[in-house]
């Protein structure tokens, strides 16, 4: 009896000792006797954020990690759409957190298991507190993949049970693409279950384009068949959402074009929108246009018609600024017809919009005649003296035309020069052709098509009745566009010459062919309202302006076309 009892006692003690030793090695050997293996260097590089992380804040060292569900913030570089335009929500990429004191990067996954129906693997709880200054509980789940030893994943499960009143579920997925280091996509899923059963997802795509200085992510308006659409063949449609800026509201409209302030009472001429037959123009978005101009110089070069367009674009872009003081003329000059050079800077966008006066785009000069008097000349084989400023622009808009119809230019007597030779008489149309050819050669030889964009704005139609600008011509009383008739088919020889020259150039000049769309608008000129008629002032009706345009008005459509070509060009490049 005694020997049996001793055998039973020895056996029991042996198994009990073995069991206790197993428990000891099972729980304490992986965590306390071994340090975790370091991350493979390749994996470490892939897990690093693109930029150095900020130092950990005190609240990040708190004992428990709160997982909060939040809405993605709108990017500061997102474009603000107008009242009628569509806006795209652009969200910031998920913030990547890296703790310099830890030895491994983690992808955080919070697992919610309310009914305890699923099976869970082995969970090891590691408590690391070097200085014993804070209490932190971290539950680490290690997933080992036998088939893929080169791609280890560490999944950290954070459970916050402070108040046990609510449960939050956040899943963050990081995708590493080794073939494309310049593009990163972050997908953020936000689930709102407060009052609705549906799930909402926001996808944010960040595109890094090394060949461009700025990114344009918003295309305003609806673009249909842009590739094949002729933007310059169409009609004017009534649109009560117009004008883009209110009459009398823009301080950059000089007196000659400020028809409302000068006493014009009708306003229908401001309510028309240009509509091409084959597509819809994108709705003008001033903020988007400014973003496209960021870091660039837009320069309009030409006669007073281009100054008319210059003042228009200033007023249109001004609508995209909440703080109007962020826009100013760099030398403090007020716009007047007596000055030939203006530079407006848009603070915050680092861009400028400039005007350079050049009536003919070729060099004007003077000669001294036999009587000792000076007479003007035009060197049709030499570029205008302001060309030095043209070279510095990123986007150029040229025009010339109306000065070629003036007396001395039209007569061509002792006026045109080639080299040192002064023609006793020379045909004005042929002189125009040679001047445009001179301009075209200069563009081909001096402007870089990879870095610069060049527009040539076509001839703008005048609407004089019973004479010309200096012979009693009139357009007073016109309040609606011409919607039919032979005038709509007018196309001057000057425009055919421009088309021929541009087709023969190496540089891809964009022709803003506004001639036909201006044929409609006999109602848009200042007529007698080029001067202030308020306060009982009498203005002569003998000399009316039926060449230039009231602002807001027709030149706004020219700038909408520039904006549209930039939008369409981006759309094509993406496809």
HSE of 109, CA atoms in CB hemisphere, 13 A: 12
Determine the longest span between alpha carbons in the chain, in angstroms.
154
Rounded Cα distance between 327 and 318, Å, is: 7
The active-site residue, picked from 78, 303, 545, 556, is: 545
Rounded to the nearest 10°, the torsion over CA 159, 117, 147, 142 is: 20
Torsion region of 342: left, alpha or beta (phi above 0 gives left; psi -120 to 50 gives alpha):
beta
Bridging pattern class, strands 341-346 and 351-357 = antiparallel
**Taking a C-beta distance cutoff of 8 angstroms, is the pair 462, 546 a contact?**
yes
Q: In this structure, is the dihedral angle defined by the CA atoms of residues 508, 572, 392 and 384, taken in order, positive or negative?
A: positive
Closest to 567 in 3D by CA, of 244, 91, 83, 229 = 229
Q: In this structure, is the dihedral angle defined by the CA atoms of residues 560, 566, 569 and 574, taken in order, positive or negative?
A: negative
The active-site residue, picked from 280, 304, 394, 444, is: 304
534-555 burial string, b = 16+ CB within 10 Å, else e?
A: eeeeeeeeeebbbbbbbbbbbb
CA angle centred on 512, ends 321 and 478, rounded to 5°: 80
Closest to 101 in 3D by CA, of 129, 123, 126 = 129
Phi then psi for residue 385, to 5 deg, are -65, -15
Phi then psi for residue 318, to 5 deg, are -60, -30
Catalytic status, residue 62: no
Catalytic status, residue 99: no
18-47 burial string, b = 16+ CB within 10 Å, else e?
A: eeeeeeeeeeeeeeeeeeeeebeeebeeeb
**Taking a C-beta distance cutoff of 8 angstroms, is the pair 227, 98 a contact?**
no
The active-site residue, picked from 379, 523, 548, 556, is: 548
HSE of 374, CA atoms in CB hemisphere, 13 A: 4
Catalytic status, residue 304: yes
Residue with tokens 């703080």: 323
Residue 85, number of CB atoms within 10 A of its CB: 19
**Taking a C-beta distance cutoff of 8 angstroms, is the pair 565, 328 a contact?**
no
Which residues have a catalytic role annotated?
Answer: 304, 545, 548
């Amino acid at each position: 009896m005694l020997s049996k009892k001793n055998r039973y006692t020895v056996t029991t003690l042996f198994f009990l000792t073995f069991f206790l030793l197993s428990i000891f090695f099972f729980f304490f050997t992986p965590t306390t006797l071994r340090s975790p293996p370091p991350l493979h260097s390749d994996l470490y590089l892939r897990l690093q954020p693109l930029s150095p992380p900020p130092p950990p804040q005190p609240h990040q060292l708190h004992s428990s990690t709160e997982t909060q569900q939040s809405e993605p913030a709108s990017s500061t570089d997102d474009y603000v759409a107008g009242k009628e335009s569509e806006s795209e929500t652009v969200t910031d990429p998920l913030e990547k957190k890296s703790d310099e004191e830890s030895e491994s990067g983690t992808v955080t996954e919070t697992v919610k298991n309310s009914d305890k129906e699923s099976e869970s693997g082995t969970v090891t709880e590691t408590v690391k507190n070097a200085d014993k200054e804070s209490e932190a509980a971290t539950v680490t789940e290690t997933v080992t993949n036998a088939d893929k030893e080169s791609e280890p994943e560490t999944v950290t499960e954070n459970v916050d049970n402070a108040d046990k009143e609510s449960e939050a579920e956040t899943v963050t997925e990081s995708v590493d693409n080794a073939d494309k280091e310049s593009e990163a996509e972050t997908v953020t899923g936000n689930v709102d279950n407060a009052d609705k059963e549906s799930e909402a997802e926001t996808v944010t795509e960040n595109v890094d384009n090394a060949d461009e200085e700025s990114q344009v992510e918003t295309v305003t308006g609806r673009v249909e068949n842009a590739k094949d659409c002729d933007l310059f063949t169409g009609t004017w449609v009534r649109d009560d959402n117009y004008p883009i800026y209110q009459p009398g509201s823009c301080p950059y409209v000089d007196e000659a074009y400020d028809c409302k302030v000068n006493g014009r009472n009708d306003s229908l001429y401001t309510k028309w929108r240009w509509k091409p037959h084959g597509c819809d123009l994108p709705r003008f978005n001033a903020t988007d246009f400014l973003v496209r101009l960021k870091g660039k110089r837009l320069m309009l070069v030409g006669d007073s018609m281009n100054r008319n367009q210059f003042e228009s674009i200033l007023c249109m872009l001004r609508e995209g600024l909440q703080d109007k003081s962020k826009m100013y003329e760099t030398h403090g000059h007020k716009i007047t017809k007596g000055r030939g050079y203006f530079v407006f800077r848009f603070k915050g966008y680092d861009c400028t919009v400039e005007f350079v006066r050049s009536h003919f785009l070729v060099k004007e000069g003077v000669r001294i005649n036999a009587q000792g008097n000076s007479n003007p000349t035009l060197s049709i084989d030499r570029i205008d003296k302001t060309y030095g400023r043209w070279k510095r622009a990123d986007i150029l808009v040229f025009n010339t035309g109306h000065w070629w119809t003036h007396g001395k230019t039209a007569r061509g007597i002792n006026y045109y020069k080639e080299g040192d030779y002064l023609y006793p008489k020379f045909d004005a149309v042929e002189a125009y052709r040679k001047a445009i050819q001179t301009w075209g050669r200069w563009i081909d030889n001096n402007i870089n098509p990879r870095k610069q964009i060049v527009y040539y704005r076509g001839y703008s139609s005048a609407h004089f009745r019973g004479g010309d600008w200096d012979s009693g011509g009139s357009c007073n009383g016109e309040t609606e566009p011409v919607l039919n008739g032979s005038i709509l088919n007018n196309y001057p020889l000057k425009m055919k010459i421009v088309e021929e020259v541009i087709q023969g150039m190496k540089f891809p000049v964009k022709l803003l062919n506004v001639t036909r769309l201006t044929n409609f608008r006999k109602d848009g000129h200042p007529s007698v309202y080029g001067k202030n008629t308020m306060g009982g002032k009498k203005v002569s009706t003998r000399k009316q302006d039926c060449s230039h345009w009231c602002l807001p008005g027709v030149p706004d459509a020219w700038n909408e076309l520039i904006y549209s070509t930039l939008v369409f060009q981006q759309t094509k490049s993406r496809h």
